[in-house]
Amino acid sequence: MEHLFEKIVAGDIPSYKVYEDELVYSFLDINPLAPGHTLVIPKKKYVKIHEVPDETAAAIGKVLPRIARAIMKATGCENYNILQNNGRPAHQEVPHVHFHIIPKPNKDSGLKVGWPAKSISEGEAIQKRIVET
């Protein structure tokens, strides 16, 4: 069963496409936080970033800066956020990996982020588990 982004890639749902290659599709967000708010997605559906094959991840990584430059030039905006969420508790609304490129033209437009930072605890133990995995 196709989901929203798969239907957009297939052309079954119209989009304002800004980029496409064999592995990646990019289009304007229909509910933008600022003018130029764009999504960059793998054409094939993967729910979370760790599921994306290296080749597809590299293709996304290669085009993200290119698309960001184009958005900044088109909007005249110098600042922006790139956001990618994994899982509904982490605010992923569409179960298909997607990167938001969100221009930040001023303090009131674009992404607003709260960052409840805490002190690192058990840093060495966590580092070791990550490195050994």
- Identify the bridge partners of residue 80 per DSSP, sorted by sequence position: 103
Catalytic option among 37, 50, 96, 98: 98
Q: Is 98 among the residues known to form the active site?
A: yes
Question: What is the enclosing helix (H) or strand (E) of 81?
Answer: strand 80-83
Nearest to 80 by CA among 64, 104, 46, 49: 104
Cα separation, 84 vs 4, in Å, equals 17
Q: CA 94, 113, 34, 41 torsion: positive or negative?
A: negative
CA distance 15 to 32: 13
| Residues assigned a catalytic role | 98
